[in-house]
Amino acid sequence: MLIYIFIGAVLLFFLIAGFCVFFDQAILTRKGTIYRVKSKGKRVALTFDDGPSLEWTPKILDELKASNIKATFFLVGYHVQKYPDIARRIVAEGHEVGNHGYAHSVMFYYTPAEIEEEIKYAEHVIREITGVTTKVFRPPKAWLQKGIKEKIKSMGYNIVLWSLNSKDWVMFNHKNIAKYISSNIRNGDILLFHDSGNVTKTEGGKRTQTVKCISLLAKMLREKGYEFVTTEELING
């Protein structure tokens, strides 16, 4: 009997793990959001979620500078308070800053008033520290109720998800990530990466493969004629 429970538990674990690794939940919630901007030009936007992180954001900024890429960072308000200098460095180096909520709470069960407060507070913190008023919002884990999207748009925000997910938190080898993205890339794609966090937490994690991926991906996509822009540039054509 016990052995069946054990086998069942192992199977369930692999089922859930497989689901998390190979399924992209943004597909379920992207209606009514901007997840890809259909354009004639070969332009793509590189985005990083969950930072700033003390260890990884500076390394990612160094790589972006070396590859001459302006990216978009969807910042967590709480992390901006914790690492204000790194948040200011992101802005000083010409990257776009987006709102990823204050506490990185999954907003699926939030009331409209609670969501407004979460976004407004993150906006306030980011403005106080960096001087930037955010105009793009990405919900943590991409989960948002259908009806709430109009409310967020009425606050002046574009809701930005992604069309290509690097799954960098799984720690795939950077060459495989770059190869996957390069072989699936299309005009107007928005690419999801992370500069902080891992499977269980929003902060820290190990982003070595993400750091290594940037220059290789830049080379592979530019060879195909693609240009890197921020989400704002992509949206505004």
Q: Which residues bind Zn ion (CB under 5 A)?
A: 49-50, 140
Tell me the C-alpha distance between 221 and 166, whole Å.
14
Q: How far apart are CA 98 and CA 131, in angstroms?
A: 13
Is 194 catalytic? The answer is yes
Q: Which of 49, 50, 168, 189 is catalytic?
A: 49
Least separation in angstroms between CB 140 and Zn ion? 5
Q: What's the min distance (Å) between Cβ of 100 and Zn ion?
A: 6
- CB nearer to Zn ion: give 52 or 140: 140
Could you confirm whether 85 is annotated as catalytic? no
Residue 4 neighbours by CB under 8 Å, 6+ apart: none
Shortest CB 52 distance to Zn ion, Å: 13
Least Å from the CB of residue 103 to Zn ion = 11
Do residues 75 and 126 lie in contact, with contact meaning Cβ atoms separated by under 8 Å?
yes
Beta pairing partners, 44 = 228
Closest residue to Zn ion, Cβ-based? 49
Task: For residue 227, report the phi and psi dihedrals to the nearest 5 degrees.
Answer: -120, 145
The smaller minimum CB distance to Zn ion, of residues 140 and 218, is found at 140
Catalytic residue among 79, 95, 100, 194: 194
Q: Which C-beta is closer to Zn ion: that of 50 or that of 96?
A: 50
Which of 49, 203 has the CB closer to Zn ion?
49
What residues contact residue 122 under an 8 Å CB cut-off, 6+ apart? 75, 76, 77, 80, 99, 100, 101, 102, 134
Give CA–CA dist 155/136, Å, rounded.
10
Could you list the active site residues?
49, 194
